[in-house]
Structure 1
Amino acid sequence: MLSKKARKFISLTLSLAIVIFMFVGCSSQTQKQTDNNQGKVNAGKLSGKIEVDGSSTVFPITEAMAEEFQKMHKDVKITVGVSGTGGGFKRFTKGETDISDASRPIKDKEAKIAQENGIKYKQIKIAYDGISVLVNPQNDWVDNLTVEELKKIWEPNSKVKTWKDIRPEWPDKEIKLYGPGTDSGTFDYFTEEIIGESGKIRTDFTASEDDNVLVQGIAGDKYALGYFGYAYYVENKDVLKIVPINGVKPTTETIEKGEYTPLSRPLFIYVSQDSFNNKEQVREFVKFYLKNARDIVPETGYVPLKQEVYDKQLEELLSGK
């Protein structure tokens, strides 16, 4: 039988062993949490940065998505730039951004730069837009324009200087023109569909990649005319007047049904494959984007796709196709 002194020694030894075991376990758990933090996820908590740039047309959608996502994940910082589709692709193809907003498909020369820099990506269709032609609300003479008249106004070396040059019964007042800059996907699409060649246009107009600048210009001049994405009209209906083209006014219904031609078009985001695979915050944001597009896209003034289209794109992303 053990003496009282021996029993006391064994009890102290066991207690010390338990303390050491608990300390080692806690250290192991702390290290595990540290490792997880480096991998952006800790017990379901997301953190890190997401860099987005590109189309001012797509900006309202991505900004709305970012705001909703950050309500759930307050430690994720999402920066959304508006350098235009072309400007966004310049950064994206160099690997400077995780996601590029685009109001047109990537061009062959841009795709080549991405390939040369080892940037692999996935194109995701997110919504439909109808490029809208706008005038000042005080304009009481324009109730429709034809595609031919738009071309006459905007073509290189255009002879149109006044409204009277379009139709003789209209005012003999100078037209002040506003439109997206050359880095804009809207500029590319409009010139291709209206002029017949991408990038060809008259040069004497106020250009900006920021559609809010165009809104302010048209809203402040009775004789102004310009064009940009439908959502910016929806957001500024009180200071803008929309012009039907070939007798069709852009609305959610005419855009969705393809009746508003030729200025209806799809909108995209381009996702870096490396960012999607290796940054948990980017992967979760893109998943959130596609799962919630049907609800959020209409709130921004654009037309959503059918849910099965979003689901299929997400499935392809996750499967690595």
Structure 2
Amino acid sequence: MKSFKHLAMSAMVGSALLLGACGANGGAEGNGEQLSGTVKVDGSSTVAPIAEAINEEYAGVQPDVKVSIGVSGSGGGFEKFIAGETDLSNASRPIKDEEKTSLEEAGIDFTEFKVANDGLSVVVNKENDWVEEMTMEDLRKLWLEDGKTKKWSDINPEWPDEEVKFYSPGTDSGTYDFFHEEVLEEKDMVRQNIQLSEDDNVLVTGVTGDKNAIGFFGYAHYLANKDQLKVVKIDGVEPTNETVESGDYPLSRPLFVYAKNESMKNNEAAYDYMKYTLENAGEMAEAVGYVSLQEDQYKEALETLEGLKK
């Protein structure tokens, strides 16, 4: 993620900072109180651009609070959350029942906060002049493992008789989980001609470097690289802010931050950072390419967070 943050996202983060300078607020800095301490965050690479943009600005108002943001995927983040290594866990999918059970066994109470919406984006190479849109059934047929090497002509006989190269987030990624559940209906993903990576930069590079490539990742990562990639309409709908917010885009999904209740109650820095996140997530999400929630949803989340302090 480092190269993505410093290269592809630099302009977006700059926009986020400008927005924040004009109107961001919240947390202890609102009353002039300066805090110190550490906040440990890990999880989804999809949520990371929002977290990093917020952290850039938060560091300016609370310079003595050290926030570390790891990017080991939603599943990897939950593993650290369960092990008690983190205060917050970013996720691009809801927590699984088995993860809830593990947290309960570890004696860790948590609260789920929705922070933005995303539209998982399916992309192909810019030189691909045959794919404009696919149905969910087309995607399923293309990505399902059937023991054969997949060719474009398997989906449409008018498409090239060329082998497809696949690029997918790794199995620790919530994006992988979402695709596995929503598109593949929890059946096995294709195993031939595929590269999996938790680093979205690797996926972008792979798709841009091969005319026969196809991949998928979060909407913000597509927007940051849209000059190099071609997005595929799904069931006739292109991912946009409007179609993601309305849910008309078939691969729309929520993004989450999971907070350890104990940290919210006993770690003032962690509570303040989470409060700041909820108060500014809408602006930051839009600035880095995602879709904000409705204002009342953030207000309700802040009330929930405040209740954890009592």
- Whether these two folds match at TM > 0.5 is yes
SS at match of 1:123: strand
Residue in 2 aligned with 1:73? Answer: 62
Separation in 2, partners of 1:119, 1:274: 8
Distance 2:146 2:48 in 1: 32
The CA distance in 2 between the partners of 1:206 and 1:46, in whole Å, is 44
Q: Does 1:173 align with 2:162?
A: yes
* 2:83 aligned partner, one-letter code: K
For 1:278-297, what aligned pairs fall within 5 Å after superposition?
278-297=266-285
Matches of 1:316 and 1:81 in 2, distance apart? 25
- 1:165 deviation in Å? 1.7
Q: What is the TM-score normalised by the length of structure 2?
A: 0.87
Asked if 2 retains the 8 angstrom alpha-carbon contact of 1:50 and 1:76, the reply is yes
CA distance in 1, matches of 2:183, 2:219: 17
Structure 1, residues 164-208: CA drift from partner, whole Å, max 9, x if none?
A: 2211111122111000111111111111111112x6312221001
Gaps of 5+ in 2: 1-31
Matched, 1:300 2:288: yes
2:184 maps to which of 191, 195, 198: 195
Q: Judge conservation of contact 2:125–2:209 (CA < 8 Å) in 1.
A: yes
Q: Aligned letter for 1:196?
A: E
Code of the aligned partner of 1:82 = V
Between 1 and 2, higher relative CO (CA 8 Å, sep ≥ 6) is seen in 2
Give the counterpart of 2:139 among 142, 147, 150: 150
Contact 1:52 1:99 in 2 (8 A): yes
Q: 1:84 aligns with which of 70, 73, 82?
A: 73
Q: Partner of 2:183: helix, strand, or coil?
A: helix
What does the per-residue CA deviation read over 1:89-127, in whole Å, with 9 as the maximum and x for residues that have no partner?
000011100100001111111111111111111100001
Match of 2:12 in 1: none
- Are the aligned partners of 1:134 and 1:227 in contact in 2 as well (CA < 8 Å)? yes
- Describe the SS at the equivalent of 2:290: coil
**Structure 1 counterpart of 2:284, which letter?**
I
1:272 aligns with 2:260: yes
Q: CA deviation at 1:156?
A: 2.1
Residue 129 of structure 1: which of 105, 118, 124 is its match? Answer: 118
Instruction: Tell whether the 8 Å contact from 1:153 to 1:160 is kept in structure 2 after alignment.
Output: no
Output the amino acid matched with 1:50.
Answer: V
List runs of 5+ in structure 1 lacking aligned partners. Answer: 1-42
Equivalent residue letter for 2:270? V
**Pairing 1:8-157 to 2, within 5 Å after superposition:** 44-157=33-146
Instruction: State the partner residue of 1:26.
Output: none
Deviation, structure 1 residue 303 = 0.4
Cα distance in 2 for partners of 1:213, 1:119 equals: 34
Using the size of structure 1 for normalisation, the TM-score is 0.84
- Of the two, which has the highest radius of gyration? 1
In 2: Cα distance, 1:203 partner to 1:179 partner: 11
Does 2:291 correspond to 1:318?
A: no
- 2:304 alignment partner AA: E
2:16 aligns to what? none
Q: Secondary structure at the match of 2:228?
A: coil
Amino acid at match of 1:314: L
2:150 counterpart letter in structure 1: K
Counterpart amino acid of 1:276? M
1:69 and 1:156 mapped to 2: Cα distance? 45
User: What secondary structure sits across from 1:45 in the alignment?
Assistant: coil
- Asked if 1:221 corresponds to 2:221, the answer is no
Does residue 133 of structure 2 align to residue 162 of structure 1?
Answer: no
C-alpha distance in 2, partners of 1:299/1:61?
9
**Aligned partners of 1:105, 1:147: CA distance in 2, in Å?**
22
In structure 1, how many angstroms separate the alpha carbons of the residues matched to 2:123 and 2:259?
A: 32
Tell me, in whole angstroms, the C-alpha distance in 2 between the residues paired with 1:200 and 1:223: 21
Aligned to 1:309: 297
| Equivalent position SS for 1:46 | coil
SS at match of 2:265: helix
SS of the equivalent of 1:90 reads helix
**Post-superposition shift, 1:264?**
0.6
8 Å Cα contact 1:180-1:227 kept in structure 2? yes
When the two chains are superposed, the root-mean-square deviation of aligned CA atoms in Å is 1.3
